[in-house]
């Protein structure tokens, strides 16, 4: 069930995209999502699509993964695109039925929104597929570090983040295990009315919470026993290195932005 989620998974690989600094990847992904909103005509969308496609090719990750990443969000996309198509007025009217109206602008807007969705999903899937979760949390810590000036608990947040990321698969396994154990005791998950379905979750949820509490206690004890006393005065084992290819990536993005501004209306 949960194994179907592609979004947010990491696929080990050794491509130029994999080897980029996670800070670069994270910042540039956000930046890309930002500049997608600049695009407003065919040329600019095509330009961004080509750029995304090249990035995907460079990562050497099977294109199927990206398509699968879109699948869970398909209904949301269709819903939004349909809303745009039927309720945008302006331009030539192709078809009308009550308040539903298919217009030239509506169709164009719908297609643009579709492109936007797909590009955003592709680029964020590319980020998570090519970056190990721990590297991502390192990157977030590094990016948040300036906030220390305003007393933002950067170390604590990043510690929680890396522990949380580390335990996602463990908790998934645990969930699966408890589900199976309760199934063997006669629980039907996801069957019957909505009330029955919710009731069936209780024998899963309580053990999960209890085991999370126990796990947290054990982990805290183990951390203290190993001399953890908080963030001050700690050294780092994983150190991020900014390399030439990261600078190049930023330069590429500068050119992409210039190109985009030149292409848009």
Partner 1 sequence: MVMDIRFEQVDFTYQPNSPFEQRVLFDLDFQIKDGSYHALVGHTGSGKSTILQHLNALLKPTKGTVTIGDRVITPTTNNKNLKPLRKKVGIVFQFPESQLFEETVAKDIMFGPKNFGVSEEDAAKLAEEYIELVGLPLETLKKSPFDLSGGQMRRVAIAGVLAMEPEVLVLDEPTAGLDPQGRREMMAMFAHLQKEKQLTIVLVTHLMDDVADFADYVTVLEKGRVVKQGTPNDVFQDVAWLEEKQLGVPTAAAFAKRLQEKGWTFNELPLTAEALAKVILTKEGLAHDE
> For partner 1, which residue of 80, 86, 108, 174 counts as binding (CB under 8 A)?
174
The residue (of 3 and 235) whose beta carbon lies closer to partner 1 is 3
The residue (of 215 and 245) whose beta carbon lies closer to partner 1 is 215
Q: Which of 146, 160, 145, 126 is nearest to 58 (CA)?
A: 126
> For partner 1, which residue of 96, 180, 196, 243 counts as binding (CB under 8 A)?
180
Kind and range of the H or E run holding 100: strand 100-103
Residue 182 binds partner 1 (CB under 8 A): yes
Handedness of CA 7, 13, 17, 22 (dihedral sign): positive
Count of beta carbons in the 10 Å neighbourhood of residue 42 = 13
Length of the chain: 265
> For partner 1, which residue of 157, 165, 178, 252 counts as binding (CB under 8 A)?
178
The residue (of 2 and 244) whose beta carbon lies closer to partner 1 is 2
Q: Which two tokens stand for residue 22?
A: 């996670």
The distance of closest approach from Cβ of residue 232 to partner 1 in the complex, given in angstroms and rounded to an integer, is 36
Residue 12 binds partner 1 (CB under 8 A): no
Q: Which of 185, 189, 212, 208 is nearest to 200 (CA)?
A: 189
Q: By CB under 8 A, what part of segment 16-55 binds partner 1?
A: none
> For partner 1, which residue of 101, 155, 183, 264 counts as binding (CB under 8 A)?
183
The residue (of 69 and 106) whose beta carbon lies closer to partner 1 is 69
CA–CA gap between residue 103 and residue 180 (Å, rounded): 52
Q: What is the b/e burial string over 18-39, where b = at least 16 CB atoms within 10 angstroms of the residue's CB?
A: bebbbbbbbbbbeebeeebeeb
Number of residues that bind partner 1 (CB under 8 A): 25
The residue (of 156 and 218) whose beta carbon lies closer to partner 1 is 218
The distance of closest approach from Cβ of residue 183 to partner 1 in the complex, given in angstroms and rounded to an integer, is 6
Q: What is the b/e burial string over 49-69, where b = at least 16 CB atoms within 10 angstroms of the residue's CB?
A: eebbeebbeebebeeebbeeb
The distance of closest approach from Cβ of residue 170 to partner 1 in the complex, given in angstroms and rounded to an integer, is 13
> For partner 1, which residue of 82, 202, 222, 261 counts as binding (CB under 8 A)?
202
CA–CA gap between residue 24 and residue 103 (Å, rounded): 41
The residue (of 38 and 74) whose beta carbon lies closer to partner 1 is 74
Q: Which two tokens stand for residue 157?
A: 């947040």
Residue 185 binds partner 1 (CB under 8 A): yes
The residue (of 53 and 65) whose beta carbon lies closer to partner 1 is 65
- CA angle centred on 15, ends 163 and 116, rounded to 5°: 75
- Tell me the window of 76-84, 87-95, 203-211, 241-249 that interacts with partner 1 (CB under 8 A): 203-211
Per CB under 8 A, residues contacting partner 1 are 3-4, 11, 62, 64-65, 174, 177-178, 180-188, 191, 202-203, 206-207, 210-211
């Amino acid at each position: 069930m949960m194994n179907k989620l592609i979004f947010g998974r990491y696929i080990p690989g050794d491509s130029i995209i994999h080897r980029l600094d996670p800070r670069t990847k994270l910042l540039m992904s956000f930046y890309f999502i930002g500049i997608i909103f600049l695009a407003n005509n065919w040329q600019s969308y095509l330009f961004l699509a080509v750029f995304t496609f090249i990035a995907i090719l460079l990562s050497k990750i099977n294109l199927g993964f990206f398509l699968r990443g879109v699948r869970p969000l398909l209904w949301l996309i269709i819903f939004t695109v349909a809303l745009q198509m039927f309720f945008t007025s302006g331009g030539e009217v192709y078809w009308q039925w009550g308040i539903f109206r298919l217009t030239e602008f509506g169709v164009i807007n719908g297609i643009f929104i579709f492109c936007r969705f797909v590009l955003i999903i592709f680029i964020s899937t590319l980020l998570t597929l090519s970056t190990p979760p721990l590297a991502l949390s390192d990157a977030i810590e590094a990016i948040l570090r300036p906030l220390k000036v305003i007393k933002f608990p950067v170390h604590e947040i990043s510690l929680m983040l890396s522990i949380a990321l580390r335990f996602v698969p463990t908790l998934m396994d645990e969930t699966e295990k408890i589900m199976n154990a309760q199934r063997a005791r006669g629980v039907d998950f996801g069957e019957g009315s909505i009330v029955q379905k919710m009731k069936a979750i209780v024998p899963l949820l309580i053990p999960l919470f209890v085991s999370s509490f126990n796990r947290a206690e054990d982990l805290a004890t183990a951390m203290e026993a190993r001399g953890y006393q908080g963030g001050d005065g700690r050294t780092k084992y994983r150190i991020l290195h900014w390399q030439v290819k990261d600078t190049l990536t930023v330069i590429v993005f500068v050119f992409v932005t210039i190109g985009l501004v030149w292409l848009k209306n």
